[in-house]
Structure 1
Amino acid sequence: MFETFTASAREVVRGAAARADLTGSGTVGEEELLLTLLDQEGTAAAEALAALGVPARRAALEEALAQAEPRARGRLGRRPFTREAKGVLERSLRIALGRGEQHIGDEHLLLALTTGAGVATAVLADHGVTRAGVERVLAEPPRAA
C-alpha cells in the first residue's frame, strides 16, 4: 500500500514515526499523524486545514490531543502503529479508491482522520473539522497565491 502514497503522504507517515521517537512514545498513533499533518505546508491537506481555520486554533488542538490518554513510552527504534493509526491508513486507501483516485495523498489521510472513532477524530470535530467540511474545501478550486 505504501507504494501508492504520494510524497506528501509518505512524509506524513515518516514524520509521525519521527515524532513518536522524539516524544518517546511506544507507538505511532493518530495523534502523531494529525500533528504531522499540521506541520505540512503547500499540500492538499495543509490547504484544507488552512481553509477551515485550523492553524489559528493549533495550540488548542495540540492541548486537546495532549490531554488524551497517554500511551506507553518505549525505547528508540522502529515504532509499531496503533490499531487506530493502522485504521487511518486503511481508511485512506478506501477513501482514495472511492474517489476514483490511484494514489493516497495527505488529503486522504486527513479525510480518514475525520471518519474514525479515535481521539484525533473527536479533537478535529471539536474544532469544526469534519469529513464534509474537508471534502467541501478539497472540491473548491485552488486559491491563487
Structure 2
Amino acid sequence: MFERFTSTARAAVTGAVAEARQAGAAVVTEEHLLLALLGQGALDPLGVDRGAVAAGLAEARRRGGLSKADEQALAGLGIDLSEIVARVEQTHGEGALAAAADSAGRRRGPLRSLLGRSAPADGRPRSGHVPFSAGAKKTIEQSLRVALGRQDNSIGPQHLLLALLARPGTAADVLAAQGVTYARAEQTLG
C-alpha cells in the first residue's frame, strides 16, 4: 500500500514518526499524523490555526486522550470529566492524565515506567523503531479507502487528512473545533 503514497504523503507518515520521537512517545498516534500534516502546510488551505490545533491536542492529552465522544458518553452516565481531571491533577499534579495517556501504549513493563525508564533519561528524542498505534494504522488504511472511493490513483496528504476526519477521535475533534469537517476538507482540497 505504501507504494501508492505520493512523496508528500510519505513525508507526512515519516513526519508523524518524527513527531512521536520528538515527544518521546512509545507509539505513533493519529495526533502525530495530524501534527505532521500541519507541519507540512497541508491544512493551510483550510485556514487552520496551527497554534489552536496544538493547544487542542495538548488539552486532549491533559484529559488523558479522551475524545469529545468519550466525554459525552461519560456525561451520559453522570460522570463529569472536567471534575475528574481537576481532582486527579489536584492530587497528582498538572498533566498527570497526559503522562498516563502517553505511557499507556508503551510495551515496556509497568516497573520500567515507574522507574522513569520508558523515555531516554537525557531528554533527547526517542530513537529506533516507533510502532504505529492501532488507530494510526486504521487511519492509514482508511486513507487508501478514501483514495479508492474518490477514484484517485495515489494517496496524498489530503487522503490522510480525510481519513483522520472520517474516524472519531481526538484529531477529528480538534479539527472540528477549527471548523474543519470532512465535507469542508473534501470540497476545499478537491
- The normalised TM-score by structure 1 is 0.85
- Aligned CA-pair RMSD: 1.3
Cα deviation, residue 67, structure 1? 2.0
Equivalent AA in structure 1 for residue 184 of structure 2: G
Is contact 1:84–1:118 with CA below 8 Å preserved after alignment? no
Equivalent AA in structure 1 for residue 164 of structure 2: L
Task: Give the greater-gyration-radius structure (CA).
Answer: 2
2:2 is matched with 2
Q: Distance in 2 between matches of 1:51 and 1:19?
A: 22
Q: Distance in 2 between matches of 1:18 and 1:66?
A: 18
Deviation string, structure 1 residues 5-42 (Cα, Å, up to 9, x no partner): 0000000000110111111000000111000101114x
1:108 corresponds to which of 137, 151, 159 = 159
Is contact 1:27–1:79 with CA below 8 Å preserved after alignment? yes
Is contact 1:20–1:27 with CA below 8 Å preserved after alignment? yes
Q: Distance in 2 between matches of 1:104 and 1:53?
A: 22
Equivalent AA in structure 2 for residue 29 of structure 1: T
Equivalent AA in structure 2 for residue 62 of structure 1: A
Give matches, 1:122-141, under 5 Å: 122-139=173-190
Cα deviation, residue 90, structure 1? 0.8
Give matches, 1:1-145, under 5 Å: 1-41=1-41, 46=42, 49-54=43-48, 57-68=49-60, 69=64, 70-72=101-103, 74=119, 76-139=127-190
Cα deviation, residue 50, structure 1? 2.1
Is contact 1:25–1:71 with CA below 8 Å preserved after alignment? yes
Q: Distance in 2 between matches of 1:50 and 1:19?
A: 19
Deviation string, structure 1 residues 51-91 (Cα, Å, up to 9, x no partner): 3210xx21121011012223215553211111111111011
Pairs aligned (count): 131
Deviation string, structure 1 residues 74-123 (Cα, Å, up to 9, x no partner): 55321111111111101100000001111111110011111111110111
Secondary structure in structure 2 of the residue aligned to 1:77: coil
- The normalised TM-score by structure 2 is 0.65
Q: Distance in 1 between matches of 2:44 and 2:24?
A: 29
Q: Distance in 1 between matches of 2:18 and 2:44?
A: 24
Equivalent AA in structure 1 for residue 53 of structure 2: L
Is contact 2:45–2:189 with CA below 8 Å preserved after alignment? no
Range moving further from structure 2, 130-139 or 28-37: 130-139
Structure 2 portions without partners, runs of 5+: 65-100, 104-117, 120-125
Q: Distance in 2 between matches of 1:111 and 1:37?
A: 11
